[in-house]
Chain A
Amino acid sequence: MSHHLILRVVAKFLIPLILVYALYVHFHGELSPGGGFQAGVLVASAFILHALIFGLRKTRPVAAPGALRALAACGVLLYAGTGVAGMLLGGAFLDYGVLAADPVAGQHLGIVLIELGVLLTVSSVMLLVFYAFAGRQKPEAQ
């Protein structure tokens, strides 16, 4: 679709806005609807829009499949690791209260870490699944 001038211009304008909005949804999740999951989907949709308009060949170098696979695993590890850190500091699994001297500050730190894990995993997996579908050629073309 790269020959559509209007689509290209609008996409170039929209993609940064989508990414900023995703960051807003992520970091404002404590105050308003949203959080890591929704922000992850929004990040993935910004890259998917880029791939739809400019082609997979231009998107893949920006968000490389290998790096995305590592990030997807890192997100789960970060989440579970936050839980294990709570255990090592003397609390229960996923008990964030012990992560800092003040229990409420510990809760904040724990929530920030696990939301980051959710964001990483969701955005990487959504984008990888899209790559897996869009990267295949038609059966006749093989």
Chain B
Amino acid sequence: MDSLIDVVLFAFLLVVALAVARGRDLFAGAMLFGMFSLLSAGLFLIMDAADVAFTEAAVGAGVSTVLLVAGLSLIGSEERSKRRGNPLPLLIVLATGAALIWGILDLPAFGDPAAPANHHVVPRYLERSGEEIGIPNVVASVLASYRGFDTLGEVVVIFAAGVGVLMLLSGRKRHRQRKERGL
């Protein structure tokens, strides 16, 4: 049953990706990107990564779609020109995709208990989290406590991204002042 859902979701993913690549309406493209994120969230959920799926659905399908549409309202939603007949982009995409698939072949099977990722610190987290942290959701205790330093880094990255966007996009006032001074 799971594999059937996988196949359906991947088929939808492929259709949406092709529609994004072929379409010329950027507004439709932004909406399709939202659908792409929602389908990815479904796939993450099938893989029992509920926290990741939740984040993907909220950020990828929700907020970033709104930001893309807000950006489009500034620049217009029609793609200006599309150069056709240049095979170089297609070649680069195909080569990158082939390299990624070749790399996947070396990965351990999904959910393999012998995989290195399931051996290093994970058994200790799973065994001791209950008595050390005392909360049932091990994902939360790893994110917030065992790997709290990483999560601090994430929060700082988000803060830095916000500062960067504000510095780039709210510089209108200074520009106007400079104009008034005749520079």
Question: Which of A's residues lie within 8 Å of B, judged by CB?
Answer: 25, 29-35, 37-38, 41-42, 44-45, 48, 52, 69, 72-73, 75-76, 79-80, 83, 93-94, 96, 103-104, 107-108, 110-111, 114-115, 117-118, 121-122, 124-126, 128-130, 132-136, 138-139
Interface contact A41-B162, CB-CB below 8 Å: no
Interface contact A96-B145, CB-CB below 8 Å: yes
Asked if B155 is at the interface of the complex by the 8 Å CB criterion, the answer is yes
Interface contact B162-A93, CB-CB below 8 Å: no
Within 8 A of A (CB), among B93-145: 131-137, 139-141, 143-145
Interface contact B132-A103, CB-CB below 8 Å: yes
Closest Cβ of chain B to A87, distance in Å, is 13
Could you say which of A110, A118, A136 contacts B172, with CB atoms under 8 Å apart?
A: A136
Interface contact B132-A29, CB-CB below 8 Å: no
Interface contact A104-B132, CB-CB below 8 Å: yes
A37 to B51: give the CA distance in the assembly, Å: 10
Residue of A nearest to B130 (CB): A104
Q: Count of chain B residues with Cβ under 8 Å from any Cβ of A?
A: 44
Asked if B9 is at the interface of the complex by the 8 Å CB criterion, the answer is no
A-B contact pairs, 7 of them (CB 8 A): A29-B137, A35-B143, A41-B59, A121-B159, A124-B162, A125-B162, A130-B66
Could you say which of B54, B70, B135, B155 contacts A118, with CB atoms under 8 Å apart?
A: B155
Asked if B161 is at the interface of the complex by the 8 Å CB criterion, the answer is yes
Question: Which of B's residues lie within 8 Å of A, judged by CB?
Answer: 50-51, 53-55, 58-59, 62-63, 66-67, 70-71, 73-74, 131-137, 139-141, 143-145, 148-149, 151-152, 154-156, 158-159, 161-162, 165-166, 169-170, 172
Interface contact A37-B148, CB-CB below 8 Å: no
Interface contact A107-B145, CB-CB below 8 Å: yes
A52 to B36: give the CA distance in the assembly, Å: 22
Could you say which of B53, B55, B132, B148 contacts A114, with CB atoms under 8 Å apart?
A: B148
* Chain B residues, CB < 8 A from A33: 50-51, 53-54, 137, 139
Q: A79-B152, A107-B145 are in contact. Are A121 and B158 (CB under 8 A)?
A: yes
Q: A115-B144, A133-B70, A139-B74 are in contact. Are A31 and B54 (CB under 8 A)?
A: no
Q: A31-B137, A45-B58, A125-B161 are in contact. Are A136 and B169 (CB under 8 A)?
A: yes
* Chain B residues, CB < 8 A from A37: 55, 154
Interface contact A93-B63, CB-CB below 8 Å: no
